[in-house]
Amino acid sequence: MQPAPKVFGIILAGGEGKRLMPLTADRAKPAVPFGGQYRLIDFAISNLINSGLQQIVVLTQYKSHSLDRHISQTWRMSALLDSYVASVPAQQRLGKRWFTGSADAILQSLNLINDEKPDIVIVVGADHVYRMDFQQMLAAHIESGARATVAGIRQPIGLANQFGVIDVDKADPTRIKQFLEKPENPEGLVDSPHEVLASMGNYIFDTDALIEAVEADGELPTSNHDMGGDIMPYFVERGEAGVYDMKRNDVPGSTDRDRYYWRDVGTIDSFYDAHRDLISTLPIFNLYNMLWPIHSQAVNSPPAKFVRDDVHRIGNAIDSIVSLGSVLSGAHLELSVVGPWTLAAGGSTITQSVLFDSVRVGAGARIHRAILDKNVVLADGATVGVDRTRDLERGFTITESGITVVGKGIHVER
C-alpha cells in the first residue's frame, strides 16, 4: 500500500480588497468580520483543518495586523503533532518588493515549501464563503494523473460574464481545454447546457510541478503572476491541468439546500447578499452544521439578551442572528445580523442590515439596508439607510443597489 502523500496548505490572504471599502480601510480583506462572530479567513482555514491538513501557512501583505492577531489567537495547533497555522508576511526574499500577484506570493515563499518538503500543495483563497472537503478533491487529483487541478463550481450560464470560466474537454470532462475570463457567450456543460464551471480559486498541485511553474512565471516580464490567469494556463498548454467539479464534493452534514454553496464576497453587494443567505428558516448557507464546523475565536461573552426598556417596549429579533454579548433593550431587529457586544436602545429599529461588533444604537434610531463597521455609534434618533441625501452628505458609501456602509468608529448624529 502506498503511504499517504504529505500535503501542505497555503492560503493566499494578501489581497487589498479595494471593492470592500470602507470595510477594508483599516484591515485586510480576509480579516473582515462575517456572520456575527467569524472572520472571512475562518472559512478557508476551517475547510483545510476539517479536511485533515495539519500544516498551513497564511500569506499576508496589506494591513495584516488584525488578521495576524486573529490567526495567532484563534488557531493554536498542537506543537507535539507538528501541526500549525502560521501567518507569514511578505518577506522580500527576492528583492525589495511586495507580492505582485498570487503566483509571485508563492514564488517569494518557496522556502516554506522547501522546509516541509510536501508531495502535494493545496492553494486556496481567503475570501470565499463555502464548505469543501479537500480530501475528496485530493483523491480525484491523484486519480486523474493531472499535475494541477482547479476546483470548479457550477453557475448559471447567464452569470458567466462575472467569473473566470473553465472550458472543459468534452471527451474528458476532468481535463481543462482553456480558461475563459468573464466570457459573454460560453458553451454550457455537456450534462447541463444551462450551466458553466466557474473557478473557485482553489488549486491542488504536485509540489515539483508548482515550483517549476512559479519559477518559470517569475522570469516572464509580461506576466501578471496570477494563479488563475497565468499558472493554470501554463498547465493547460502542457496538457497537465485537471478540473474538479464541486458537484462531486459531499461535505458531512450538508443538505440539498447548502451542499454546493459558494460565494465570492469581494464586493459590498455580494458581502451583504451572503449575510442574507444566513438568516432564513432553512438557510441557503447553514452555520449550524456541527459535522463540518466553521471554527473561529471563542468570544468570552455572556449570552445575547432581549429586555424591556423603561416604557415596556420588548426587544425582539425576527429572522436574525444576534451574537454573544449583545443587548436589545426595547429594540426591534428584523432580517439582520448583529455582531458581539452590540447595544440597541428602546424604540430603535434595525432592518435588513449587518452590524459588526460593539455598535451602539441610540433610542429611536433607525437603520435600514446598511452595513455598520465596529464601534459605530448612532445618537438618539439618528438614521442610516433611511435618507439617501443625508447619508451622502455625511460621506457614507452607498452602492448602486442602495446598501449604505458606515466605516469603523464613526459617530452618526441625528
pLDDT tens per residue across span 161-182: 888 889 888 878 888 988 888 8
Q: Do domains 7-276 and 305-412 have the same CATH topology?
A: no
Q: What is the mean pLDDT of the chain?
A: 90
pLDDT value at 3 more than 80: no
Can you give the pLDDT at residue 140?
95
What letter does residue 161 receive in the DSSP assignment? Answer: G
pLDDT tens per residue across span 77-123: 655 567 888 888 877 766 677 787 889 999 999 999 999 999 999 99
Report percent pLDDT > 90 for the chain. Answer: 65
Can you give the pLDDT at residue 375?
97
Mean pLDDT of the region 229-235? 90
pLDDT tens per residue across span 252-292: 999 888 889 999 898 999 999 999 999 988 889 999 999 99
Confidence of residue 1 (pLDDT cuts 50, 70, 90): low
- Backbone phi, psi, residue 328, to 5°: -105, 105
pLDDT tens per residue across span 28-53: 899 999 999 999 999 999 999 999 99
Minimal CA–CA distance to 268: which of 390, 389, 391, 399?
399
Stated pTM of the model = 0.92
The total of other beta-carbon atoms located within 10 Å of residue 267's CB is: 14
- Alpha carbon 270 to its chain centroid, in Å, reads 11
Q: Domain spans of the chain?
A: 7-276, 305-412
Which class is 305-412 in CATH?
mainly beta
Minimal CA–CA distance to 20: which of 269, 369, 349?
269
What letter does residue 239 receive in the DSSP assignment? Answer: T
pLDDT value at 398 more than 60: yes
Which class is 7-276 in CATH?
alpha beta
Can you give the pLDDT at residue 80?
56
- Please measure the distance between the N-terminal and C-terminal CA atoms of the chain and give it in whole angstroms: 71
CA distance 319 to 279: 6
CA distance 178 to 63: 35
Q: Where is the binding site, in residues?
A: 164, 181-182, 199
Q: Where is the binding site for alpha-D-glucose 1-phosphate, in residues?
A: 164, 181-182, 199
User: Could you tell me if 45 and 36 are in contact, meaning their C-beta atoms sit under 8 angstroms apart?
Assistant: no
User: Could you tell me if 329 and 344 are in contact, meaning their C-beta atoms sit under 8 angstroms apart?
Assistant: yes
Amino acid at 176: I
pLDDT tens per residue across span 379-388: 999 999 999 9
Grid cell 429599529 — which residue?
349
User: Could you tell me if 19 and 262 are in contact, meaning their C-beta atoms sit under 8 angstroms apart?
Assistant: no
* Cis amide linkage into residue 118, ω under 30° from 0: no
